[in-house]
Each structure stands twice: as C-alpha cells, then as structure tokens.
Chains A and B, each alone.
Chain A
C-alpha cells in the first residue's frame, strides 16, 4: 500500500482518458503525476480532453495539461515526459513510479505498457473507449491475470481504434472515472486486480467480469516468454485523432 500523498503515478496518454483520470488523481491527493504523451492538442480533442481549451490548440499536450492541472490541483507535483512511450525507455520510466495509468490511443503502446509493468512488477490500470464501448482493467504487480491474458497480442487487422471509429465525449469521462477509481483502490492496497469493467454507453449497462489467468499467456503464463522489451512486438498503426 502506498499513501496517496507520497504516491507516484505515471499517466500514459494525456487524451480523453488521461485528462480526466489525471485530474481525478491530482484532486484526490496523489503526490506526483508523470505525464507521457508526444502529441499536440488538436481542435478535434477539445470535446473530450477536458484539460485543454481552444487556446491550447497546437501546443504539446503534456505542458498544456500540466499548466491546467497546476491551476486545478496546485499541490500535485508534475513530471513531464514529452514523448511517446517507447520500447527503449519504457522499463526505466515505469520503474520510477508506483503505478501506471494507461489510456493510450493505440495497441502498440497498450501492450508495451502492459509488458513493461509486468516485467518490472508494477501495477497498471488500463482503459480504452471507442464509440459507445469502454473497458478498464487493473493488473497487479505480481503477475496475471494480465492484459495479454485477455487480448493476446497487438491486433493487426479489424480491431477498432479511435481514428477509425471515433470517440464519444461523455464515454471517456465515465471510463476515466472508473480507471481513476481503480487506481486509487490500488494505491489504497485493495485487491481490484483481474476484473474487467465494461461500459456500454448506448444502453448505460456496466458489467464486471473476472479475467482468468491464461496458462499459455506469453507474459504471465506457465512458460512466459516475454521477459524483455523487444521493439518488434510493438508495431501497428497509430491513431491520429486522440
């Protein structure tokens, strides 16, 4: 258990999920937030990325978000990482924090964050939202069930991302709230790991399902083979909307 005020949380992706999640964590009293993103604020982001205003369009997201967070939650310490989470630095970055909150817009980053946290034995809370469908999953520091138990590998085709499918503004608020709630539970020492939260914005139905540890999982299974970060594993298209 890490007390909230001394906790160090890395927010991967300062977009529709990362903005409200970071704000919730900062106002809950999390001591230090690291912000990771290499993107610029686009006008198409403003309907859901609540730390940005029209004046921020064209600015890098990380300093723009940091400036707004400092206004809204002055006590929080912020560490700015104006970069995409990259295979060469993911492990060392993750090691600097107690918990990772991942709301990135592409599968390569999601799997990279999952692998770096599992290898480094750090807890992570994943979240995603596309159209009216959202998910959140907390993975513990001591192995599975993990993100790869649920989704085995980076999709190469047919899987929706936000560039192709769009993101509904209120959806990311709901899912980010669940993500922040899970993150605070992790920091409080609660066992919230291995349950997949799903939310359907069309029907307003939410469910929680236990995710079993998959014995054949490459990351946490009985014969796990992902023991280091190899860049070739994290190749796919990149979303340009979030």
Chain B
C-alpha cells in the first residue's frame, strides 16, 4: 500500500525536488524506513534515537502522530502524510 507523503521545501533536496512522494508501510515507522530506502537520508532528518525529532512534526491527515501512537501509528488506505519542520527565518 503506497501512501502519499508531502515533503516540505527544506527536505526536497533529498527527493529530487518532489513535493510529494510515495512510500509503503503499515505504520508510520515502517513508512519512514521505506521512505529512506527510496530517498536516502530522509530518516536521519526525521528521527533520532528517541523517535521523531523534537523539531519535526509528522501528521497523518490532520493528526500529529505524537498524539496517535508515534511511530507505531497505523496507516490505512488513502492516508496522507505531511512533514512539518520547525523553521526560523524571515
């Protein structure tokens, strides 16, 4: 099951400039593993040894995975994933 993942501008250097990519997995953690196989380096930008990096938010639909089970959050057909990093600039 491929899931659509929206990639923020700051991470598009790792996806060849694509703002949306596909990845497969039954959970958010599995999806990130597959994402990293397809776009090496993404996992390191999203996760540290404790899980989702503290300045990264990953949403499944409108829900922040911090509140839905973290990396164990289960995915279903049609889910869309959004990655929102902290940014400072203006």
The residues of B that contact A202 with a CB separation of less than 8 Å are 9, 19
CA of A161 to CA of B89, assembled, Å: 6
Q: How many residues of B are counted as interface, with CB atoms below 8 angstroms from the partner's CB atoms?
A: 23
Q: Answer yes or no: A47 CB below 8 A from chain B CBs.
A: no
Q: What chain A residues lie within 8 Å of B9 (beta carbons)?
A: 130-133, 200-202
A172/B86 in contact, CB under 8 A = no
Which chain A residue shows the least CB distance to B61? A209
The contact of B62 among A129, A175, A209, by CB within 8 Å, is A209
Known: A153-B54, A200-B19, A202-B9. A242 touches B89 (CB 8 A): yes
A71 within 8 A of B: no
Q: Kindly specify which of A53-61, A101-109, A116-124 makes contact with the partner chain.
A: A101-109
Closest to A102 in B: B90
Chain B min CB distance to A158 (Å): 6
CA distance A101 to B36 in the complex (A): 37
B85 to chain A, nearest CB (A): 6
Is the contact region of chain B dominated by helix, strand, or loop, or is it mixed? Answer: mixed
What per-residue 1/0 map shows which CB atoms of A121-165 lie under 8 Å from chain B?
000000111111111000000000000001111010011111001
Min C-beta distance of B66 to chain A, whole Å? 7
- Residues on A with C-beta less than 8 A from B8 are 133, 200
The contact of B54 among A16, A127, A152, A212, by CB within 8 Å, is A152
- Interchain CA distance A214-B54 in the complex, whole Å: 13
Known A-B contacts A131-B9, A155-B54, A200-B19; the reply to A239 vs B89 at CB < 8 A is: yes
Q: Please give the number of chain A residues whose Cβ is less than 8 angstroms from any Cβ of chain B in the complex.
A: 51
Decide: A130 and B54 in contact? CB cutoff 8 A: no
Complex CA distance for A135 and B86, rounded to whole angstroms: 9
Residues of B within 8 A of A129 (CB): 87, 89-90
- What is the minimal beta-carbon distance from A235 to any residue of chain B, in angstroms? 14
Q: How far is the CB of B64 from chain A (nearest CB, A)?
A: 6
> Contact: B90 with A15, CB < 8 Å?
yes
With both chains docked as a complex, state the minimum distance between the C-beta of B44 and any C-beta of chain A, in angstroms: 8
Q: Complex Cα distance A208/B77, Å? A: 23
Would you list 15 pairs from A and B whose C-beta atoms are within 8 A, ordered by A residue? A16-B89, A104-B88, A105-B88, A107-B88, A110-B88, A130-B89, A134-B87, A155-B86, A160-B10, A160-B89, A165-B10, A165-B89, A201-B9, A203-B19, A214-B67
Residues of B within 8 A of A (CB): 8-10, 19, 44-45, 53-55, 57, 59, 62, 64, 66-67, 82, 84-90
List 11 additional contacts besides A107-B88, A131-B9, A133-B85; criterion CB under 8 Å.
A17-B90, A18-B90, A128-B86, A129-B87, A131-B10, A134-B87, A152-B55, A158-B44, A160-B89, A211-B64, A212-B67
